Amino acid sequence: SEEEVVVLNFWPSMFGARVIMALEEKEIKFEYKEEDVFGQKTDLLLQSNPVNKKIPVLIHNGKPVCESNIIVEYIDEVWKDDKTLRLLPSDPYQKSQCRFWADLIDKKVFDAGRRTWTKRGKEQEEAKQEFIEILKVLERELGDKVYFGGNDNVSMVDLVLISYYPWFHTWETIGGFSVEDHTPKLMDWIRKCLTRPAISKSLPDPLKIFDRVTQIIKVHEFF
Ligand SMILES: N[C@@H](CCC(=O)N[C@@H](CSO)C(=O)NCC(=O)O)C(=O)O
């Protein structure tokens, strides 16, 4: 087809991963462009996202879309026919709940997770507790469903939360805890998501992330 879809990404990014997973789950062809966001940003990135200068950016027929969850909704709206997976419900109320959980995850999981490796002592302990607490809230929300999106397919909420999974190993190792111990049913959901090729092939390798973080800690002498 004449559609041109380009994604500007940075391989460890949970925000970029959910955009890639959305494209893969909906079987949309796209061109992947890696950005060295903490080094030299390309002119394409600076022109495509002049306000925040961040990845991910989706460029659809030359038009840039920024902010990961806005990109996922755009993808869901633009590519929708009866044989394409829908990532958000069409019912306004159900859609509002989907947005609520995606927003909560990006507020809480990102912040607490990051502090499990950037803080030490009491602050690290607090971050660990917060992280485990939000996972428990999410495990309760999942309940007996297979996915957050229901029993047969993933939704935007599943993609947003699973996009953090590659970071769990780092947070558990540095933080000294195990997600499995606290939220076994959420671990089952993770394993279920990872059986989906569109998800497993789009997520960065947890060990590569761990290596990168340990390098950052050494270089910045965080502690
Ligand atoms: N709210 C945005 C966050 C994107 C972001 O932080 N991108 C980071 C890389 S991943 O951590 C980024 O591009 N940072 C470059 C910079 O801050 O200059 C979204 O959801 O898309």
pLDDT of residue 2: 73
Q: How far apart are CA 171 and CA 112, in angstroms?
A: 10
CB 80 within 8 A of CB 65: no
pLDDT of residue 221: 67
Mutate to test the pocket of ligand 1, among 8, 14, 21, 37 (most ligand atoms within 8 A of CB): 37
Give distance in angstroms: CA of 56 to centre of ligand 1. 7
Q: Are strands 63-66 and 57-60 parallel, antiparallel or unpaired?
A: antiparallel
Taking the model in full, what pTM does it have? 0.96
Q: How far apart are CA 216 and CA 222, in angstroms?
A: 8
CA dihedral over 49, 54, 57, 62, signed as positive or negative: positive
pLDDT of residue 218: 86
Mean pLDDT per 10-residue segment, the chain (223 residues): 90 98 97 96 98 98 98 97 93 97 97 94 96 98 96 95 98 94 97 98 98 88 60
